[in-house]
Amino acid sequence: MISLPDFKEKQLLYIRAERGVFNKIKFQNDNIVFSKDDKIINRASCHKVFAVFVLGDITITSGLMKDGIKHGVSFFFLKDNFESYANFGATAEGHYLLRMRQYALSEKQELTMAKAIVGNKITNQCALLKERKLTKGMYKDMNEMFTTVEKADSHDSIRGIEGNASRRFFGEYFGSINWVRRAPRAKQDIPNFLMDIGYSMLFNCMDSLLRLYGFDTYKGFYHKLFFQRKSLACDIMEPFRSVIDKQILKAFNLGQIDEKDFKVAGGKYTIEFEKSRKYAELFMEAIMEHKEELYNFVQGLYRHVMNDGKHEFPEFKIGK
């Protein structure tokens, strides 16, 4: 496991491999070194990096994999649309006691945890609406949905409430940018495309933290078991989605989103390769602003699973 003081010093690193040249990353003297055509472009101390996102084709060394895992650095390799196609990183797979407790959670315990995670998500959505001084009636409706979550008696009921709350939230919060609807992975417009990028980066960071503690990230308590889905990472990122939502609206309001940076191919929005760094950094900045809260949440989850009688389920508040 990594301590909070150490984690506070960590950063996310983004590498964009240039087309038509020989791109390579390797470990050298405790540094992650990025080179093009054997010329060193940049380097970063492995002690300061938590995760590396690599966009484009690149060559890696066996030493990079060995030392990356040794120093707790996770690597994510991304397609041009920012979808991750491969990754490797440190994990505490041998923590059998944690996993036994994780697998032994009863249906009642999982339902209670699901209520907490969705309630937390709705609370943060309410906080964003209140922050923007939006419709009081809408804010009241969202609070009523939070109360309904607490009374839910099944996962299906919670999912229905969450879906309704999110639809209402998106329509109200993003109304100023001509919001249509949330369409995951469809990339039907720029806001949805940016959400996919931001949520994916958040998901990968959360998954890396969970694995450092030894969790089986395929076993969730709200998102149920599904082939090849890291359900626990999906669960734990829910309250933190508001971080990405807030950053997207902020970027639009500050004029940081330029339609000329995007193009449409096959009915889906994508980004010009040369502009990718700009948008990756937007989300890395937002995530790193809340890295202490991310750490504390996962640590709180660990303590709760190990002893729920002593430790309450964690909570993240976007306004804090």
Binding site members for Mn(2+): 162, 223, 238
Residue type, 315: E
Buried b (16+ CB within 10 A) or exposed e, 256-290: ebeeeebeeeeeebbbeeeebeebbebbbebbeeb
DSSP category for residue 11: E
Distance of alpha carbon 251 from alpha carbon 145, whole angstroms: 29
Which residue positions form the known binding site? 162, 223, 238
Burial of residue 69 (number of CB atoms within 10 Å: 0-12, 13-18, 19+): middle
Cα-Cα-Cα-Cα dihedral sign, residues 151, 153, 156, 157:
negative
Tokens of 188: 């039907």
Please, which residues bridge with residue 234 across strands? none
C-alpha distances in Å from residue 113, one per residue of 91, 119, 246, 300: 24, 10, 25, 12
Residue type, 249: L
Angle between helices 276-289 and 291-306 (to 10 degrees): 50
Beta-strand pair 11-16/49-55:
parallel
